[in-house]
């Protein structure tokens, strides 16, 4: 295996591992911390169904007043921002690694440049997709 393939596979594997870790460990931890701060249960709620099913954070028992609606909108925006931040973290770390003079081969830089937008999109969509109603915290 040549070094270019090794670096590419390492990046893709690390990105996939981070995506799994983010969904199974980081996201439940963030929802739990946010729930403690808000004194409410933060769960996944459906945001859209067609043509793609997307879920965002919401309250288990949302209130019907104007303040409750604003809180729901902020939670939804926070979940999208957390997903985008989590998606860009491996790319930021790769850029930092490269700026420290690691000197990745030019072929790897070009390939990673072209694959990163696709990886970010897949990460965010995969993170915001839930196929079941999550009525409790994932542990």
Does residue 66 have a cis bond before it (omega within 30 degrees)? no
Q: Which domain holds residue 102?
A: 3-59+80-127
pLDDT of residue 4: 72
In a domain? residue 133: no
Total domain count, the chain:
1
Spatial contact of 28 and 139, defined as CB atoms under 8 Å apart: yes
pLDDT of residue 103: 66
pTM of the model: 0.77
Nearest to 120 by CA among 108, 110, 112: 112
In a domain? residue 137: no
In a domain? residue 139: no
pLDDT of residue 102: 62
Mean per-residue pLDDT pooled into runs of 10, the chain (139 residues): 76 88 92 91 85 85 75 89 90 76 68 80 81 47
pLDDT of residue 40: 85
């Amino acid at each position: 295996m040549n070094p270019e393939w090794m670096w590419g596979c390492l990046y893709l594997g690390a990105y996939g591992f981070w995506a799994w870790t983010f969904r199974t460990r980081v996201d439940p931890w963030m929802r739990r911390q946010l729930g403690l701060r808000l004194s409410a249960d933060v769960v996944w709620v459906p945001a859209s169904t067609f043509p793609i099913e997307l879920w965002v954070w919401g309250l288990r028992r949302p209130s019907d007043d104007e303040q409750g609606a604003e809180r729901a909108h902020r939670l939804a925006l926070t979940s999208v921002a957390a997903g985008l931040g989590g998606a860009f973290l491996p790319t930021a770390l790769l850029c930092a690694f490269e700026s420290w003079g690691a000197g990745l081969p030019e072929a790897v830089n070009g390939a990673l440049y072209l694959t990163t937008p696709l990886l970010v999109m897949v990460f965010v969509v995969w993170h915001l997709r839930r196929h079941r109603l999550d009525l409790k915290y994932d542990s």
